[in-house]
Amino acid sequence: MNETRIVTRRIHERPDDSWTIDGALASGAYETWREVLRAGNPDDVQAQVTESGLRGRGGANFATGQKWSFLPKDVFPRYLVVNGDEGEPSTFKDRMLIERDPHQLIEGIAISAYAIQCNQAFVYLRGEFALGYDRLMQALADARAQGMLGANVLGSGFDLDIVVHRGAGAYICGEETALLESLEGERGMPRVKPPFPAIEGLYAKPTVVNNVETLSTVPHIMRMGGAEYAKLGVGRSTGTRIAAISGHVQRPGNYEVEFGCTFRDLIYGLAGGIRDGNRLKFFLPGGASFQWLIDSDEHLDAPYDIDWVQQNLGTTLGSGAIMVFDETTDPLAVAYRLIKFYAHESCGKCTPCREGTGWLAKIVYRMMNGFGRPEDFDLLVSVGSGISPDVDIAPFTQTTLCPLGPSAVSPIASLRKYFRDEVMARLQETA
């Protein structure tokens, strides 16, 4: 199978200068923005994005047009906040889009801000993305010099300012309400919802928070037309998605594909299969937060379709990251490292997550190192159910404000589903 390069087209066509203003202009940057301003119809932009079926590419897959529609009419100022705090383990597509095509992102921000009639956008950029920050700041300066941003853009009467705000090392700030807290100068702790950000977001004003890949897609939807874009993909998973494939594969990387291909196409086709002639053992189909899949035809031939995977396999395509592990991998070691991550990144606001993730990590650690007890498996499920009450469908049930804690239960559910016998045998051995 082949890639369908829409959002990654410029990056591939101009590997040496895709991030510069000259390179970007030479490959059509800001033409759609000019066109949108000339047409002068923000409602049409919203309608096209709704019709395109675009769903958020950050991980929650929420319909973008619908998210925009929640803004109350006639309440100003309102803000567009760009979530560039990519931190989900195994996800590395937004960093590429920021470093290598910042003008596409800026064009997407501009068109989206125009659609929702907002004059001030903030990009919350992960603090560790130093090169991304340099490139984005340069791109913004160049875009302003070209008259694409600022006051009265291209004589349209529309004003737009974009401020880049660097984070400082906190995974939780990728959660949209924690991100807003952080942008307000607070500790990045999720808020109680409702009110949702569309009603009371940044500075308690109506706010839309969209992911980098989502906004980078918007210029293409306007260029192609929403209906045309919706023809790509399958079912309600329209368009393309950047699959970030890593781990034990021959060719790790970002691959932009139409929804509707299979995991086999991605892992064995584009990523070249498993390294060193080894066998696949299991893979994470959508970032670190969701349940794993294994080396079975049922899983490998499953369609890359958000809803199908969620309804039939109890997991989701999440952030688009696929992490692959071969037969040499100890699933307990992967589970431990993931749970340790959530324990470290827990903001501490909700007791089940603050306390529970740490206990899960401790128990899995002793299991992994030969000090486990036969009853530990049930103990993990018991502790896990305090964070995500129905462990089988973790992280989709929660006793917490945000899904971080429940995400630490996903590895437990996965171990129980697919590796119970292997783990129990080890526990009996060491008992």
Partner 1 sequence: MTFFTEQNLVRARTIVAQYPVAKSAILPLAHLAQDQHGWLPPEAMAEIAELTGTTPADVLGTCSFYTMFKRRPCGRFVVSVCTNVSCLVLGGPEVLEHLEAKYATDPDVTVEEVECLAACDGAPAMQVNYEFHERVTPELAEDVVEAYKRGALRARTVSGSLPA
- Which residues of this protein are in contact with partner 1, per CB under 8 A? 77, 86-92, 94-95, 120, 126-131, 133-134, 163, 165-171, 182-188, 203, 244-248, 252-254, 284, 288, 321, 323, 325, 329, 333-334, 337-338, 341, 344-345, 347
Closest distance of CB 100 from partner 1, Å: 13
Alpha-carbon torsion, ordered 170, 106, 78, 154, to 10 deg:
160
| Distant-in-sequence, close-in-space partners of 305: CB < 8 Å, separation ≥ 6 | 234, 235, 237, 259, 260, 317
Closest distance of CB 85 from partner 1, Å: 10
Q: Closest CB to partner 1 among 334 and 402?
A: 334
Cα distances (angstroms) measured from residue 120 to each of 58, 184, 196, 287: 21, 15, 19, 31
Q: Closest CB to partner 1 among 59 and 252?
A: 252
Q: Pick the closest to residue 188 from 395, 79, 345, 81 (CA basis).
A: 345
Rounded-to-integer distance, Cα 286 and Cα 212, Å: 17
Q: Closest CB to partner 1 among 44 and 365?
A: 365
Closest distance of CB 129 from partner 1, Å: 8
CB of 165 closer than 8 Å to CB of 183: yes
Q: Closest CB to partner 1 among 308 and 342?
A: 342
Structure tokens at 400: 């917490």
Q: Closest CB to partner 1 among 49 and 140?
A: 140
Closest distance of CB 392 from partner 1, Å: 22
What sign does the CA torsion over 32, 33, 37, 42 have? positive
Closest distance of CB 60 from partner 1, Å: 18
Backbone torsion region of residue 235, taken as left when φ is above 0, otherwise alpha when ψ lies between -120 and 50, otherwise beta: left
Closest distance of CB 47 from partner 1, Å: 30
Structure tokens at 321: 């990251």
Rounded-to-integer distance, Cα 166 and Cα 85, Å: 9
Rounded-to-integer distance, Cα 380 and Cα 374, Å: 11
Q: Pick the closest to residue 267 from 333, 326, 335 (CA basis).
A: 326
Q: Closest CB to partner 1 among 68 and 325?
A: 325
Write out the DSSP string of 146-201.
TTSSBSSGGGSS--BEEEEEE--S-GGGGSHHHHHHHHTTS---PPPSSSPTTTS-
H or E element that contains 233: strand 233-234
Cα distances (angstroms) measured from residue 227 to each of 68, 232, 314, 324, 347: 18, 9, 30, 35, 42
Q: Phi then psi for 192, rounded to 5 degrees?
A: -75, 135
Q: Phi then psi for 107, rounded to 5 degrees?
A: -65, -40
Closest distance of CB 254 from partner 1, Å: 7
Q: Closest CB to partner 1 among 325 and 377?
A: 325
Q: Using the structure block, give the residue that is written with the tokens 């349209």.
A: 156
Q: Closest CB to partner 1 among 230 and 324?
A: 324
Closest distance of CB 236 from partner 1, Å: 28
Closest distance of CB 269 from partner 1, Å: 16
Q: Closest CB to partner 1 among 39 and 163?
A: 163
Closest distance of CB 234 from partner 1, Å: 26
Q: Closest CB to partner 1 among 46 and 211?
A: 211
Which 8-state DSSP code applies to residue 270?
I
In one letter, which amino acid is 85?
D
Rounded-to-integer distance, Cα 401 and Cα 101, Å: 34
Closest distance of CB 205 from partner 1, Å: 9
In one letter, which amino acid is 106?
I
CB atoms inside a 10 Å sphere around CB 51: 17
Q: Closest CB to partner 1 among 99 and 305?
A: 99
